[in-house]
Amino acid sequence: MIPCWRYLRSSKSVLGFVFVASVIWLLLDMAVLRLSVRDVNTRLLKERVIRRQDLTRRQDKVTPLMETFLEESVVKQEVSDKVSDGVDVQPVGLYRRRKDKAAVKDNQNRRGNPSKVKPDSVAKEPVDLQNGVEKNDSVALSRRAVNAKIIEPAKAAPNTSVRVFNQPRAVKEQPPVQELPLKEDNQKEPPNQGARNTSSAKDEKLQLQNNSIVAHPVKASVHQVLSLDATAAPRDPDAVGQFGQPATVPSEDSVKMKQRWNEGFFNVYLSEQIPLDRAIPDTRPEICAGNVVHDELPSTSVILCFVDEVWSTLLRSVHSVLNRSPPHLLKEIILVDDFSKKRYLKENLDHYMANFSKVRIIHLQERQGLIRARMAGAAVATGEVLTFLDSHVECNVGWLEPLLERIYLDRSKVACPVIDVISDQDMSYKMVDNFQRGIFTWPLTFGWNALSDEYVKKNNMTAADPIRCPVMAGGLFSIDKKYFYQLGAYDPGLEVWGGENMEISFKVWMCGGQIEIIPCSRVGHIFRGQNPYQFPNDRRKTVERNLARVAEVWLDEYKELFYGHGYRHLLDNIVSDIGDLSQQIQLRAKLKCKSFKWYLDNVYPELEAPLVKAAGLVFNRGLRTCLSVHAGVLFFETCDLSKQSQHFNYTWLKQIRQEDMCVDHNEGRLILQPCSVERTALHWLHKSSKSKLPQHLVAENGGKQACMEVIKSSKVHILHLAACNVDSLFQQWEFTNYYAQ
């Protein structure tokens, strides 16, 4: 060191030194760039050419959001370099996330003052990293060499423009992950590992009926989640939509924009101007930055199915996976072309993707629908985990490892990222609220539900904790491949689109697994107002049919709620329309899955699911006595709750029912008949909000209405169907209890 300083004292020498250093610097930089353009797949780690743009020069154009991103991308790069072996995971003062108001303000303050964009704050940290490298053992070194590049901050002179380059000397070829030396088992589970600790996970055998799935032998060596974000070339901060910012179409282009809208039912025109590898804001909760994951995570095949997807969004989806997934975990990307009609999705796509050795394309020869298309992808997948994505997504930094971590800890867990929103209008990337879970309401309608503050407090939840989901949205999730097949994959009888998210969700929960949203994993998705592709048959009927299959197989007696809440019409032709279910029913029996009641009690107790709409005695207001059954015949007697013969249910299928017998009518006389879902004559309207006769029991018969009435007699009261009369008390009935309107 001392001789060096002496040398530098002479100003000539200083100039010479700076010149030589700059030339070396430039050469190294060019070398990295050349390497990186060619083969993104195999050299992703090498290619993390994260370039801090010269903020000083561009100060006038850098918005706070950009600035945040620029700073973060560099800082995170360093963090990911600190790939740890469980020895020196330093949680992160390094991450400076600036979502909060104070941070935004801070950013705004810094905007006008270039000198406050502190290059040295970026440069400082890696000195520790360097020390860390020196401190650690050879295992640590080799793993670092595999997983990270090393930034040498000493060379980045403070207060010059901030540019952080790859250091090619530290980049080595990626060996297969299993060749990594493993640490001893006796290391501690990281404190922020969520629900389970190592020792319990280690011994755990997950039972799935007769097949026991043994959790991975848990090695305690961990590293901080890798926040990779590779690009083949430096990003242009001025590009349209860069940093996930909203973009606008100039007014002179609005006609073109409208013309192209229907190609995808989002702003296709704008999408084409946005870089395929644009940066997006890191929307993970701040706490995620400190998370660690195990070194031995399983690899995954990412499966994207598409039909007539827009070119730019499909490619952006693929690039976001390639650029932001640790290469050793990304076994392959399987693109399943579900018999698209667009020509660019054939040879052009093949040609483009030929540049990326990890991308495989399957062109289906017949339209299969997304469900069977996913299964076609799964059938050829070689990764240990299947990760399904829609074809218009952008995976965020650090998205993959937290998903795989959950599966690594428990193979029966199905892990979903938080689905951020990519605006269909301006293509901006928007963070969604944390603490949301996937739910459904009747009749199996998917929705989001915010966890209440009380729930969050009561369970001591942090923003990074996995959120149990009664159902998943459907499009984006990771599942252990073996587990997927043990569950019988999807019902292949589901057509085109819809319902498969319910099917897999019920199947997972009822057959021993769990579904979680992992807040530290974020993937943006373009939610469209309409499906931009054709349905081979009627869309509504297709979805209804799929849902009916799911209801018939999984809902047990609760399927009445499904039909009663909107799909009663399906019952008329159910057998012929929904196809053969025997295999699915057999599968459920074989897997010894739990009942739907168990699911409601244990997974989704908040759902209102009374099995009947009303129950108890059926009281007539005019006669002031109750309906009863004796020897299979209806008659009236003094109301007595203790008599089972007076108990009736008013069901979701609008039957008045006692055990297996239902109140029916024949030529105006009321009789009891064995219940049958197909028999529409058994359909009674009661307390219907739309009806002008809410107290009545209205039989709908071929469009004509008639009301149940009792005629008072000194001998036997006569029960019959009569023309409806709003005022007649002898036509007004009341059940003891009402559970739903």
Cα–Cα distance, 135 to 144 (Å, whole number): 13
> Cβ 105 to Mn ion, closest distance in Å?
36
369 makes contact with ligand UD2 (CB under 6 A): yes
Among 78, 189, 384, 390, binds Mn ion (CB under 5 A): 390
476 makes contact with ligand UD2 (CB under 6 A): yes
493 makes contact with ligand UD2 (CB under 6 A): no
Nearer to ligand UD2, 527 or 619 (CB): 527
524 makes contact with ligand UD2 (CB under 6 A): no
Tell me, what DSSP letter sits at residue 313?
A: H
Nearer to ligand UD2, 58 or 363 (CB): 363
Q: Is 19 helix (H, G, I), strand (E, B) or coil?
A: helix
Tell me, what DSSP letter sits at residue 642?
A: T
Cα–Cα distance, 326 to 331 (Å, whole number): 10
# binding residues, ligand UD2 (CB under 6 A) = 23
* Binding-residue pattern over the window 406 to 435 for ligand UD2, x denoting contact by CB under 6 A: -------------x----------------
473 makes contact with ligand UD2 (CB under 6 A): yes
531 makes contact with ligand UD2 (CB under 6 A): yes
474 makes contact with ligand UD2 (CB under 6 A): yes
Among ligand UD2, Mn ion, none, partner that 476 touches (CB below 5 to 8 angstroms by kind):
ligand UD2
Cα–Cα distance, 628 to 719 (Å, whole number): 11
> Cβ 579 to ligand UD2, closest distance in Å?
17
Asked whether 707 and 696 are in contact (CB, 8 A), the reply is yes
Kindly indicate which of the ranges 302-310, 599-607, 661-669, 674-682 contains the residues binding ligand UD2, using the contact rule CB under 6 A: 302-310
Cα–Cα distance, 272 to 499 (Å, whole number): 31
391 makes contact with ligand UD2 (CB under 6 A): yes
Among 373, 471, 520, 663, binds ligand UD2 (CB under 6 A): 373
Among Mn ion, ligand UD2, none, partner that 337 touches (CB below 5 to 8 angstroms by kind):
none
Q: Report in angstroms the alpha-carbon separations of 124 from 129, 130, 470, 560, 674.
A: 9, 11, 46, 65, 81
Among Mn ion, ligand UD2, none, partner that 309 touches (CB below 5 to 8 angstroms by kind):
ligand UD2
How far apart are the two ends of the chain, measured CA to CA in Å? 84
Helix axes 500-510, 539-554, angle to 10 degrees: 10
Nearer to ligand UD2, 305 or 719 (CB): 305
Q: Locate tokens 């290619």: which residue?
A: 47
> Cβ 311 to ligand UD2, closest distance in Å?
13
Among Mn ion, ligand UD2, none, partner that 327 touches (CB below 5 to 8 angstroms by kind):
none
Among 47, 71, 480, 500, binds ligand UD2 (CB under 6 A): 500
> Cβ 525 to ligand UD2, closest distance in Å?
4
Asked whether 312 and 422 are in contact (CB, 8 A), the reply is no
Among Mn ion, ligand UD2, none, partner that 303 touches (CB below 5 to 8 angstroms by kind):
none
> Cβ 252 to ligand UD2, closest distance in Å?
31
CB atoms within 10 A of CB 539: 15
Kindly indicate which of the ranges 174-182, 274-282, 382-390, 406-414 contains the residues binding Mn ion, using the contact rule CB under 5 A: 382-390
Query: Residue 738 forms beta bridges with which residues?
Result: 614
Among 67, 189, 390, 560, binds ligand UD2 (CB under 6 A): 390
> Cβ 498 to ligand UD2, closest distance in Å?
4
User: For the chain, how big is the Rg over CA atoms in Å?
Assistant: 32
Of 723, 674, 734, 677, give the one whose Cα is nearest residue 698: 723
Residue nearest Mn ion, CB atom distance: 390
Give residue 716's identity as a one-letter amino acid code.
V
Residue 340 phi/psi, 5° resolution?
A: -65, 155
Among 306, 484, 509, 648, binds ligand UD2 (CB under 6 A): 306
Among Mn ion, ligand UD2, none, partner that 474 touches (CB below 5 to 8 angstroms by kind):
ligand UD2
CA max distance for the chain: 126
> Cβ 418 to ligand UD2, closest distance in Å?
11
Based on the number of CB atoms within 10 Å of its own CB, is 206 exposed (0-12), middle (13-18) or buried (19 or more)? Answer: middle
> Cβ 342 to Mn ion, closest distance in Å?
17
Cα 522-110-156 angle, rounded to 5 deg: 80
Residue 736 phi/psi, 5° resolution?
A: -65, -45
Helix axes 119-135, 138-147, angle to 10 degrees: 140
Of 523, 528, 524, 568, give the one whose Cα is nearest residue 548: 568
> Cβ 305 to ligand UD2, closest distance in Å?
4
Contacts to ligand UD2 from residues 658-697, by CB under 6 A:
none
Alpha helices in 325-383 (DSSP H): 347-353, 369-380
Tell me, what DSSP letter sits at residue 178?
A: G
> Cβ 735 to Mn ion, closest distance in Å?
44
Nearer to Mn ion, 445 or 459 (CB): 445
Asked whether 475 and 395 are in contact (CB, 8 A), the reply is no
Residues forming contacts to ligand UD2 in the complex (CB under 6 A) are 305-307, 309, 338, 369-370, 373, 390-391, 419, 473-476, 496-498, 500-501, 525, 531, 533
Residues forming contacts to Mn ion in the complex (CB under 5 A) are 390
